[in-house]
Structure 1
Amino acid sequence: MKKTLFTLMFMLLGMTTSFAQKVSVPEPEFADQTFLLTSNTEYVKLPRESGVVKTKAGASLYLVGIGKVKTRITLSGPTSSVTVPAGKDVRLIIKAANNSTDPESFINIFPFEVKGKERRAQLAEAGTLSATKTNSLGQISFQAKKYGQSSYYIVIENLKPGEYGISLGDPDKRNEKNDMKITTFSVK
């Protein structure tokens, strides 16, 4: 019991210190831009890459009529141009149209699988003998608070080395072009 209580207190202290740091960087200029904080006063703008949606059926579906069809979003290149050192919290400033909406309702942070010369993440899966699954990007949890006039300060803890993407929905449902734009970074 004491060990569990100590662990819980340690986790809460860690979350508090991530937000207690005095961050003083400007907000991104435009909505949907993301800054990666390299210190409390310095940042790097993360790249936004255009994704391609690919759908592929398994061989068994063609041979015997039973199998699965998977839909994935794919980005060219095996890695992002921006890298975060492993073992550190990832701190982001994401500008939205406004910051009055719960960021977990429209900001998705997810891992990519690297396959050859591309990064990919599964969007949906349908099988002849199984239920259809959609929006299965595998969202990573984060802590967030308002930052400035219309941005969010996001902290992601304990990310394993790999490739990651950030998909930004539109809290006001005005922009449908964002579906294929993915902000990317690597943890190494």
Structure 2
Amino acid sequence: MKSFLILFLLAATTFVYSQDISIPEPEFIGEIVYVASDNNPVDLEMQTASIRSGKSVGRMVTGAGKNKVLVVVKGAKSPVRIKKSDTIYFVYNNGSNDITPRKVIQLLEFESEKKTREYLFANSSNLTGQTTQGELNLINYKAKKYGETSYLIIVSNLPVGEYAFFLGDEESRDAYLFGVDE
């Protein structure tokens, strides 16, 4: 009886933590979709991010203060909402899945403002001389080959917030956006 109970719990745990993904690969290279709980693909919001530089009031008035470089997209929240879950799945067609995923897939958390979502890319202070530049705080994920040319992206324990995938070339400013809600 004890063995049966342990085997049952192990099987139940495996079922809960694995989702059978069976959607077709996205049709076009560069396309990414969220895999909904009903195993249907959902397109993410796509925007071209802009780079904005701003100075603190102190820096504008006295010349001493902070300077920021932000990655900005329009709208305080993405229209694509995902319910918080232990594991969230995405499928990305890169045209080839022979490249290390970390070189072509970056996931960032944005801060929601009144009319925009922003990611602090660089920050400097001429008072302290301290500069943080280009240090991306990437969200961890796992990726596996999926189909012929795609990756299955597995994100675990993503907190409530606003997020963006930047895909392909490092120079690309195309952001694929979504939000996570309770």
TM-score of the pair, normalised by structure 2: 0.82
Q: Which amino acid aligns with 1:28?
A: P
Unaligned ranges ≥5, structure 2: 1-9
1:164 pairs with 2:154: no
Cα deviation, 1:97-146, whole Å, max 9, x if unaligned, reads 32111111231111111111111111222222334322344211001111
Amino acid of the residue matched to residue 132 of structure 2? K
Distance 1:132 1:102 in 2: 30
Q: Tell me the residue number matched to 2:120.
A: 122
Point out the structure with the larger strand share: 2
Partners of 2:149 and 2:102 in 1: how far apart?
A: 15
1:14-33 CA-partner distances (Å, limit 9, x unpaired):
8x975x54311111111221
Q: Percent identity?
A: 28
- Residue pair 2:94, 2:168 contacting (<8 A) in 1 also: no
Please tell me whether residue 60 in structure 1 is matched to residue 58 in structure 2. Answer: yes
Task: After superposition, give the CA deviation of every residue in 1:50-90 in whole Å (9 maximum; x if it has no partner).
Answer: 22211001122223322221111111111111111013421
Equivalent-residue separation in structure 1 for 2:16 and 2:60 (angstroms):
54
**For 1:104, what is the secondary structure of its paired residue?**
helix
Give the distance between the partners of 1:153 and 1:134, measured in 2 at CA: 30
Question: Which amino acid letter does the alignment assign opposite residue 178 of structure 2?
Answer: F
Change in CA separation of 1:85 and 1:114 when aligned onto 2, cut-off 3 Å:
same
| Residues 35-54 of structure 1 mapped to structure 2, 5 A cutoff | 35-39=33-37, 41-54=39-52
Structure 1 alignment gaps of length 5 or more: 1-9
- In the alignment, which of 181, 184, 187 is matched to residue 174 of structure 2? 181
Q: Which has the larger radius of gyration?
A: 2
2:15 aligned with 1:22: no
The CA RMSD measured in Å over matched residues stands at: 2.3
Partner AA of 2:179 in structure 1: S
TM-score relative to the length of structure 1: 0.80
Paired with 2:131 and 2:168, the residues of 1 have a C-alpha distance of 22
* Equivalent residue letter for 1:142: Y
Give, as a single letter, the amino acid of the residue that structure 2 aligns with 1:110: L
